[in-house]
C-alpha cells in the first residue's frame, strides 16, 4: 500500500500543538465556553497517539483544530512543521457523527474524499473496493447510509478517511458504534495498515482497552477546559495482539489510566457541587 511521502523533512513532528485554546461563543447563553485551554501535544511522524478523557472535555474540539476546521483563539498547531491554516490532503478525518452524505451510496461516500481532492483515476474503483472490503462492507456498495446500521455507517466513515491514504489520520471515536467482535477486527486491521504505511494517528476513544491496544502513547485529558493531564507511553511492540492484555504491565497500565480518569470524574463532581 503506497502512501504519499512527506514533502517536508521527517525531522519535524507530524502534529505539534502549542498552547491551543478554543472558546465557543454561545449566543443563547450570552457567554463564551472555553473548551480547551493551553493544550500541548506532539505526535511524531509514524506515531500512534490515543486520547482519553471525560465526555465534553474538548477532545473533538482539539481534533477539529488539527484538522483545520476550527481556528484556535490562542496557540498554534503545526502539521509536518507548517502552521495549520485549513484542511490539507495529508490529513484525513473520521468524524464522531460519521457525517456521511445521505444521497451517496456506500461506494459514493468512500469515493467522496478522492473526488474532492481531484484524485479520481483508473485505479480508483479497485482502490475503493479494497477499502470497502477492509471495513467488511462488501456487498453493501450500493446501499444508502439510511439502509445501514450505526456500526456499518461508522465503518463507511472509516473507509472514506483511509482511502485517500493520508500521512496523518485524525480519528474521533471511529469504532464507538461498532459491535465488540468487529471492533477488535477493525483494531487489528487498523494497527496493521498504520504500521505498514507509517501513518501518524490521533485517535480519540472512550475505551481504555482500545487506547492501550493501539497506541504508542496515551494522552489523558482533564475536565473542560481540556488540558493534557498526563501522557503515558505504552511499553509493548506495535502492532500488537490481544494477548498483551494478560501481561501484568498491561493490567498495571490499565489501572493507572482508570484511576486518572476516575480522579477527573471526582473533580468534576466537586466542581458541580461548588457551583462552578
Q: Which of 17, 43, 57, 193 binds ligand ATP (CB under 6 A)?
A: 57
| Closer of 57 and 215 to ligand ATP (Cβ) | 57
Is 268 one of the binding residues for ligand ATP (CB under 6 A)?
Answer: no
Binding residues (CB under 5 A) for Mg ion: these are 60, 96
- Of 52-60, 125-133, 155-163, 178-186, the window that binds ligand ATP (rule: CB under 6 A) is 52-60
Site for other proteins in 43-102 (CB under 8 A): 64, 67-69, 86-89, 91-93, 95, 97, 99-102
Is 112 one of the binding residues for other proteins (CB under 8 A)?
Answer: yes
Residue nearest to ligand ATP as judged by C-beta position? 60
Q: Which does 24 bind (CB under 5 to 8 A by kind): other proteins, ligand ATP, Mg ion, none?
A: ligand ATP
Residue 159, C-alpha cell as written in the block: 473507509
Q: Which of 91, 111, 183, 224 binds ligand ATP (CB under 6 A)?
A: 224
Is 51 one of the binding residues for ligand ATP (CB under 6 A)?
Answer: no
| Closer of 36 and 66 to other proteins (Cβ) | 66
What is the 3-class SS of the chain, one letter each residue?
CCCCCCCCCCCCCCEEEEEEEEEEEECCCCEEEEEEEEEEEEECCCCEEEEECCCCCCHHHHHHHHHCCCCCCEEEEEECCEECCCCCCCEEEECCCCCCCCCCCHHHHHHHHHHHCCCCCCCHHHHHHHHHHHCCCCCCCCCCHHHCCHHHHHHHHHHHHHCCCCCEEEEECCCCCCCHHHHHHHHHHHHHHHHHHCCEEEEECCCHHHHHHHCCEEEEECCCCECEEEEEECCCCCCCCHHHHHCHHHHHHHHHHHHHHHHHHHHHHHHHHCCC
Q: Shortest approach of other proteins to residue 170 CB, angstroms?
A: 8
Residues engaged in binding ligand ATP (CB under 6 A): 24, 26, 33, 35, 55-61, 96, 224
Residues engaged in binding other proteins (CB under 8 A): 64, 67-69, 86-89, 91-93, 95, 97, 99-104, 112-113, 115-117, 144-147, 164
Amino acid at each position: 500500500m503506497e502512501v504519499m511521502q512527506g514533502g517536508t523533512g521527517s525531522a519535524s513532528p507530524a502534529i505539534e500543538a502549542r498552547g491551543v485554546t478554543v472558546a465557543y461563543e454561545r449566543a443563547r447563553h450570552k457567554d463564551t465556553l472555553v473548551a480547551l485551554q493551553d493544550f500541548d501535544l506532539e505526535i511524531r511522524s509514524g506515531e500512534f497517539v490515543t486520547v482519553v478523557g471525560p465526555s465534553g472535555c474538548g477532545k473533538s474540539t482539539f481534533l477539529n483544530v488539527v484538522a483545520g476546521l476550527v481556528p484556535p483563539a490562542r496557540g498554534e498547531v503545526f502539521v509536518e512543521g507548517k502552521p495549520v491554516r485549513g484542511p490539507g490532503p495529508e490529513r484525513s478525518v473520521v468524524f464522531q457523527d460519521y457525517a456521511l452524505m445521505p444521497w451517496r451510496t456506500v461506494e459514493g461516500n468512500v469515493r467522496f474524499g478522492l473526488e474532492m481532492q481531484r484524485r479520481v483515476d483508473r485505479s480508483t474503483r479497485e482502490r475503493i473496493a479494497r477499502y470497502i472490503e477492509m471495513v467488511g462492507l462488501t456487498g453493501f456498495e450500493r446501499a444508502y447510509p439510511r439502509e445501514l446500521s450505526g456500526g456499518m455507517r461508522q465503518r463507511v466513515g472509516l473507509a472514506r478517511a483511509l482511502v485517500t491514504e493520508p500521512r496523518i489520520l485524525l480519528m474521533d471515536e471511529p469504532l464507538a458504534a461498532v459491535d465488540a467482535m468487529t471492533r477488535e477486527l477493525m483494531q487489528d486491521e487498523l494497527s496493521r495498515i498504520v504500521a505498514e504505511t507509517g501513518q501518524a494517528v490521533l485517535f480519540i476513544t472512550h475505551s481504555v482497552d482500545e487506547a492501550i491496544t493501539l497506541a504508542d502513547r496515551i494522552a489523558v485529558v482533564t475536565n473542560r477546559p481540556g488540558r493534557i493531564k498526563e501522557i503515558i507511553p505504552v511499553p509493548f511492540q506495535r502492532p500488537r495482539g490481544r494477548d498483551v492484555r494478560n501481561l501484568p504491565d498491561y493490567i498495571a497500565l490499565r489501572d493507572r489510566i482508570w484511576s486518572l480518569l476516575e480522579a477527573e470524574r471526582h473533580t468534576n463532581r466537586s466542581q458541580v457541587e461548588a457551583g462552578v
